[in-house]
Structure 1
Amino acid sequence: MASLKRLLVCGGTGFLGRRICEQAVAHGWAVTSLSRSGAAAFEGGRVPKWAESVKFESFDISKASPDEIRPLTEDSDAVVYSLGILLESNYYKTFAKSQSPLDGVSKVIQKWNRNPLKHRIEDEISYELMNRDLAVKLAKETSASAKVEKPFLFVSAAGEFPGIPQAYFKTKQQAEQTISTLPSLRPIFLRPGFMFDPSSSMTMTMAVGLKAIGTVNEMLGGNAPIISRDVLKPLSTSVVAGAAVQAIESESVTGVINRDDMIDLARQASFAT
């Protein structure tokens, strides 16, 4: 879509966000990245060539007012929210403040099973804040500033994963529900399972393990307990990022984008570059 030129990525220095910026630059977008670290995310290391074409802004959306956010969304043709956390800081604090390891594990499990609708934010970093409230905050300002229908892409999640609290997935779903009701937006919800990236040896190792479990599971003709099929088929961040850019550029793409659709969109993106 040639008319789309300016992309705003909230979380553009993160695990997936920087790959979205990279793919967008390759597709000819003028990219602005918002993160608390700004360009400092690359300090002390080699700055990749694509990053030289990105405008990195040091910006804390959790503290920003609507008047500070709206000019940024108004000046963009599409907006991406790729911030998110797998584990809250208050899980670590809950464990650390417990009287014993057993007591700590018990309290953490209680939090895992809580109802996110009734949960009050205890710390600055929480699922409710990072996975839901800030995404909705950005989407509302994008909606308010949109003169024509504007793509808003939210990086959600698919399935469940051992060790990740239910609240992680619930808050993603709640964000999707609210964003989908806002006017003047073309909402796009990417739902990847486990993602891996060559820059992270840990994710690469985990991806190999999950693929092995998935292969054995398929051979036995059953479903692995707890782990969803999408998680057992990990995706690279490059594939998810390619799908994100292609989804934004394709006017017919809207709503939930699952694993197979992401792979198809990523293929289209690779042909377009």
Structure 2
Amino acid sequence: MKTIISRLIHSTPSSISKLNAFAVSINGRNFSTDSNKIDEPFKVEEAGTVNVPPPQPPTEKLLVLGGNGFVGSHVCREALNHGVPVASISRSGRSSLHDAWASNVIWYKGNLLSTESLKEALNGVTTVISCVGGFGSNATMYKINGTANINAIRAASDQGIKRFVYISAADFGVVNYLLQGYYEGKRAAETELLTRFPYGGIILRPGFIYGTRSVGSMKIPLGIVGSPMEMVFQHTRALTQIPLVGPLLTPPVNVTAVAKVAVRAAIDPVFPPGVIDVYGIQRYSEKKSK
């Protein structure tokens, strides 16, 4: 193209006049040297509108095992206060409590000694908190505190659930021998949890849990005894190291504190896995969640 223009420039005047009418094509578009304007203006196409979906609400769902019990009911209420959808499974099914929050829980009836009871309740669940525990003969206590929780831990693991919080019990020394089935069951469940959930298993070990316990329409204020004991035992921590008898001085803890830490452990992804003793429960319950 440069050769053609050079020849025209060094030609005769008539040839130069031809140069004025000469049009060159660049990238498939014509530019006229007469008007120095684009014969075919560039067309700018508007970008198509992209429909961006709105932010999705949290899909977190919590399953509370034993949600109609003393500790479990407080856990359900605490989770609902955080805006987390809550389901619960227990032998009696729907809670007998008449509190307003109970109507916001999805209640399932089932027996944790049978893994079939857990299938429907675990659907869509992201985290489990077990408040299951009980007393009776040694065999019965092992089944309730051990076998039932082990079944739940295995079912949750098989379902792909990432976090499991288990409310166990502090070591009370000499009492362990009197309630052998209770503590053996608790420790067996703890071992299973740490095996199945090495990065998302949290064990809370409170001592005596006090607070207002509902029995039908009657409220039993256990805090009348528990609260003063907690204040006194705060200053006897060193004595708890005495073999067998020392653990009896483990301070009681408010049920509200236990529920608060259990829910925080369930929904806070940075909450550390492992065992949290009564002093850790007190400490975490005083911290604000980020």
Q: TM-score, normalised by structure 2?
A: 0.68
Q: Which structure exhibits the higher relative contact order, with contacts defined as CA atoms closer than 8 Å and separated by 6 or more residues? A: 1
- Give the secondary-structure state (helix, strand or coil) at the position aligned to 1:39: coil
Equivalence for 2:64:
9
Q: Number of residues paired by the alignment?
A: 224
Equivalence for 2:252:
234
Higher helix share: 1
Distance change >3 Å, CA 4–CA 48, structure 1 → 2? same
Equivalence for 1:172:
186
Counterpart amino acid of residue 153 in structure 1: V
- Give the secondary-structure state (helix, strand or coil) at the position aligned to 1:261: helix
Q: Specify which of 264, 273, 277 is matched with residue 246 of structure 1.
A: 264
Return the alpha-carbon distance in structure 1 between the equivalents of residues 222 and 180 of structure 2. 21
Counterpart amino acid of residue 135 in structure 1: N
Return the alpha-carbon distance in structure 1 between the equivalents of residues 226 and 239 of structure 2. 20
Do residues 203 (structure 1) and 218 (structure 2) align? Answer: no
Give the superposition deviation at 1:261.
2.3
Distance change >3 Å, CA 4–CA 256, structure 1 → 2? farther
Distance change >3 Å, CA 249–CA 268, structure 1 → 2? farther
CA contact (8 A) 1:159 1:227 kept: no
- Give the secondary-structure state (helix, strand or coil) at the position aligned to 1:251: coil
Equivalence for 1:93:
none
Q: Taking every aligned residue pair, what percent have the same amino acid on both sides?
A: 23
Equivalence for 1:154:
166
Return the alpha-carbon distance in structure 1 between the equivalents of residues 147 and 133 of structure 2. 11
Give the superposition deviation at 1:222.
4.4
1:84-118 alpha-carbon deviations (Å, 9 max, x no partner): 01x31x3xxxxxxxxxxxxxxxxxxxx7xxxxxxx
Return the alpha-carbon distance in structure 1 between the equivalents of residues 190 and 210 of structure 2. 23
Return the alpha-carbon distance in structure 1 between the equivalents of residues 226 and 174 of structure 2. 14
Give the superposition deviation at 1:235.
0.7
Equivalence for 1:192:
206
Counterpart amino acid of residue 188 in structure 2: Q
Return the alpha-carbon distance in structure 2 between the equivalents of residues 24 and 40 of structure 1. 16
Equivalence for 2:110:
59
- Give the secondary-structure state (helix, strand or coil) at the position aligned to 1:177: helix
Do residues 78 (structure 1) and 103 (structure 2) align? Answer: no
Distance change >3 Å, CA 260–CA 139, structure 1 → 2? same
Give the superposition deviation at 1:184.
8.2
**Long gaps (5+) in structure 2:** 1-56, 214-218
- Aligned Cα root-mean-square deviation (Å): 2.8
Give the superposition deviation at 1:127.
1.7
Equivalence for 1:255:
274
Give the superposition deviation at 1:217.
5.2
1:203-229 alpha-carbon deviations (Å, 9 max, x no partner): 3344256447637857xx745772516
Bigger Cα Rg: 2
Do residues 41 (structure 1) and 60 (structure 2) align? Answer: no
Return the alpha-carbon distance in structure 2 between the equivalents of residues 40 and 71 of structure 1. 18
Return the alpha-carbon distance in structure 1 between the equivalents of residues 266 and 209 of structure 2. 20
**Long gaps (5+) in structure 1:** 91-110, 112-120
1:35-85 alpha-carbon deviations (Å, 9 max, x no partner): 12222522xxxx2122121112222222x344x423422420101111101
Equivalence for 1:21:
76
Counterpart amino acid of residue 22 in structure 1: R
CA contact (8 A) 1:210 1:232 kept: no
Equivalence for 2:101:
50
Give the superposition deviation at 1:161.
6.5
